[in-house]
């Protein structure tokens, strides 16, 4: 059980004072029946809690786990430089969950501004660490459109390993195959800076467009349009965390 104002605060609806005001002004309702509540100190069970804030339906989530279909032209940064932040694609409460200096969901790894595809976000620090730590070898699948026609030699070299300019140790693709003459699918378990682009450059080609289609067992569905997000299901969260223990 939690006080209603604390529930709103934990879900990112502002400071406790702001959350208190939302309740007192009659802007918060509880349950599918949208029962009104004007007392911010009301104790409410968070189990399967559905609530409404200013007419928008929310489901209480102790921790946030999201997938976003990232479009091109967005930076995975809270303080972007040239392009808008990917966080602007999310509603305000998800960017403010928990309050404090590290409020809101954070990207689980990053994609370049011109790269599209699957991006995970969460406010669970342990989950983010497990998914991004090199020792867990979480596979990520990319589709790269390349400038020059592919050949078997390029694919073989990517599988065998190539040396990047900042690391004498060869890096290799866990899996790599040509989809067509100008598109390859590559699976990596590392997360070096611009890794796909630099690996493909090392075999004499150039990435023209890059898309991430999967992280571990989680595959980006065509049902999620570019720029849209959704909550991960409990089953998806469980299988992701099981794979990286």
185-242: per-residue pLDDT in tens?
A: 999 998 888 899 999 999 999 999 999 999 999 999 999 999 999 999 999 999 888 7
Percentage of the chain lying above the pLDDT 70 cut: 97
Residue 133 pLDDT > 90: no
Confidence of residue 102 (pLDDT cuts 50, 70, 90): low
The mean of the pLDDT values for the chain is 93
The most confident of the ranges 72-81, 128-137, 201-210 is 201-210
Half-sphere exposure of 120 (CA within 13 A, CB side): 29
Token couple for 44: 């409410």
Fold for the domain defined by 139-215:
Alpha-Beta Plaits (3.30.70)
Asked whether residue 243 carries a pLDDT value surpassing 80, the answer given is no
Question: What is the predicted pLDDT for the residue at 22?
Answer: 96
Same fold, 65-134+218-243 and 139-215: yes
Do 105 and 230 form a contact (C-beta atoms < 8 A)? no
Compare 183 and 99 and report the one with higher pLDDT: 183
Query: What pLDDT score was predicted for residue 217?
Result: 92
Give the pLDDT score at 33.
94
Select from 3.40.50.880, 3.40.190.10, 3.10.290.10, 3.90.1260.10 the CATH code of 2-59: 3.10.290.10
Could you tell me the residue ranges of all domains in the chain? Answer: 2-59, 65-134+218-243, 139-215
- b/e string for 91-105 if b means 16 or more Cβ within 10 A? eebbbbbeeeeeebb
pLDDT at 38: 94
What average pLDDT score do residues 68-73 get? 98
Architecture of domain 65-134+218-243 in CATH?
A: 2-Layer Sandwich (3.30)
Q: pLDDT grade, residue 100 (50/70/90)?
A: low
pLDDT-based confidence at residue 168 (cuts at 50, 70, 90): confident
Q: Over 80: is that where the pLDDT of 245 sits? A: no
- Which residue of the set 39, 112, 152, 181 is catalytic? 112
Is residue 152 part of the annotated active site? The answer reads no
Mind listing the pLDDT tens digit for each residue in 7-43? 999 999 999 999 999 999 999 999 999 999 999 999 9
pTM score: 0.92
Which among 65, 220, 78, 59 is positioned nearest to 127, based on CA atoms? 65
pLDDT value for 209: 97
Average pLDDT over residues 74-103: 88
């Amino acid at each position: 059980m939690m006080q209603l104002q604390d529930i709103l605060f934990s879900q990112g609806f502002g400071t406790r004072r702001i959350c208190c005001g939302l309740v007192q002004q009659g802007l918060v309702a509880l349950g599918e029946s949208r029962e009104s509540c004007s007392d911010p100190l009301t104790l409410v069970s968070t189990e399967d809690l559905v609530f409404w804030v200013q007419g928008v339906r929310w489901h209480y989530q102790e921790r946030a786990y999201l997938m976003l279909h990232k479009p091109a032209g967005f930076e995975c940064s809270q303080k972007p430089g040239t392009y808008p932040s990917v966080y602007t694609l999310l509603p305000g409460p998800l960017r403010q969950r928990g309050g404090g200096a590290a409020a809101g969901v954070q990207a689980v790894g990053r994609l370049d501004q011109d790269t599209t595809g699957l991006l995970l976000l969460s406010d669970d620090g342990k989950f983010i660490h497990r998914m991004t730590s090199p020792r867990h070898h979480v596979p990520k699948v990319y589709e790269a459109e390349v400038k020059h026609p592919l050949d078997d030699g390029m694919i073989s070299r990517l599988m065998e390993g190539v040396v990047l300019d900042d690391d004498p140790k060869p890096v290799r693709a866990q899996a790599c195959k040509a989809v067509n003459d100008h598109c390859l699918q590559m699976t990596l378990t590392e997360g070096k800076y611009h890794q796909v682009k630099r690996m493909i450059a090392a075999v004499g080609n150039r990435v023209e467009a890059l898309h991430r289609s999967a992280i571990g067992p989680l595959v980006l569905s065509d049902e999620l349009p570019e720029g849209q997000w959704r909550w991960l299901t409990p089953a998806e969260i469980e299988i992701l965390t099981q794979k990286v223990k």
